[in-house]
Amino acid sequence: MNEHISSAYDRDLEGLSALIMKMGGLVEEAILDAAKSFETQDIELAEAVRSKDKVIDALELEINDVAARIIALRAPVSKDLRVVLTVLRLAASLERVGDYAKNIAKRTSALIDLPTHKSAHSSLRRMSREVQLMLKDVLDAYMRGDAEIAEDVRQRDQEVDQMYNALFREFLTFMMEDPRQITACMHLHFMAKNIERMGDLTTNMAEQVIYLVTGEMPEEARPKSDSTAYLSALD
Q: Which residue has the higher pLDDT, 233 or 90?
A: 90
State pLDDT tens for residues 214-224. 999 887 776 66
State pLDDT tens for residues 69-112. 999 988 888 888 999 999 999 999 999 999 999 999 998 888 87
3-state class (DSSP) for residue 202: helix
Taken in order of first residue, the domains within the chain and their CATH numbers are 2-234 (1.20.58.220)
Q: What is the pTM of this model?
A: 0.88
Helices (H), ranges, the chain = 2-39, 43-74, 78-111, 118-144, 147-177, 182-214
H/E/C letters for each residue in 148-198? Answer: HHHHHHHHHHHHHHHHHHHHHHHHHHHHHHCHHHHHHHHHHHHHHHHHHHH
Answer yes or no: is pLDDT of 54 > 60: yes
Answer yes or no: is pLDDT of 3 > 50: no
Answer yes or no: is pLDDT of 206 > 90: yes
What mean pLDDT, rounded, does the chain reach? 89
